[in-house]
């Protein structure tokens, strides 16, 4: 996997960015001093998000020795000429699907870039984050949208269950 794709996958997995949000990032969106990235979210909203150290390191590695020389201000550009930014999030989704194929994940409900966002939300929920906190990170305007990620965790429920009266025969 190349440096560009690795940095893209980390943005999807660690920050829960949408494919379109990654595709539209520009070089000017990164504030290295503050370790923040400006994300253009749904509905013309903008959000400043912290850049985790591993994500920052991956972006730096891509910029220093993976990104082709280009006058394009988009953070991620095509590897083949012309070296321009992606037209939409479709290219990001294809990068995510290719990564899933490489590790043998073929059948899942959220195939593509969104599986990383969904996995982040599920892991945060299992780690004790509230739906409100998760919704804030994922930049959901409506709390009902965040509830989609509150799937039943059977293993977690088993630890809470009481023994059946009379036991299992």
> Which active-site residues does the annotation give?
18, 42, 114, 117, 140, 149
Contact (Cβ atoms closer than 8 angstroms) between residue 99 and residue 119: no
Question: What's the distance, CA 89 to chain centroid?
Answer: 12
Q: How far is CA 35 from CA 28, 53, 73, 91, 153, in A?
A: 13, 8, 19, 26, 34
- E strands, the chain, in order: 30-31, 36-40, 46-50
Q: What share of the chain is helix, strand, coil (3-state, %, to 5)?
A: 50, 10, 40
CA distance 137 to 112: 20
CA-based nearest residue to 120, from 7, 23, 12 = 12
Question: For the chain, what's the residue count?
Answer: 169
Residue 81 is classified by DSSP as S
């Amino acid at each position: 996997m190349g440096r560009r794709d690795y940095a893209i996958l980390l943005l999807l997995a660690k920050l829960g960015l949408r494919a379109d949000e990654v595709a539209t990032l520009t070089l000017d969106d990164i504030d290295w001093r503050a370790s923040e990235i400006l994300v253009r979210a749904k509905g013309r909203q903008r959000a400043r998000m912290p850049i985790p150290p591993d994500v920052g390191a991956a972006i730096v590695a891509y910029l220093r020795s993976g990104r082709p020389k280009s006058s394009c201000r988009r953070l991620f550009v095509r590897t083949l000429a012309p070296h321009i930014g992606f037209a939409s999030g479709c290219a990001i989704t294809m990068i995510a699907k290719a990564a899933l194929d490489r590790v043998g994940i073929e059948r899942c409900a959220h195939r593509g870039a969104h599986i990383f966002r969904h996995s982040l939300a599920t892991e945060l929920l299992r780690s004790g984050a509230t739906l409100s906190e998760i919704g804030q990170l994922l930049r959901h305007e409506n709390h009902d949208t965040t509830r989609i990620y509150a799937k039943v965790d059977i293993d977690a429920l088993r630890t809470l269950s009481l023994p059946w009266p009379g036991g299992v025969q």
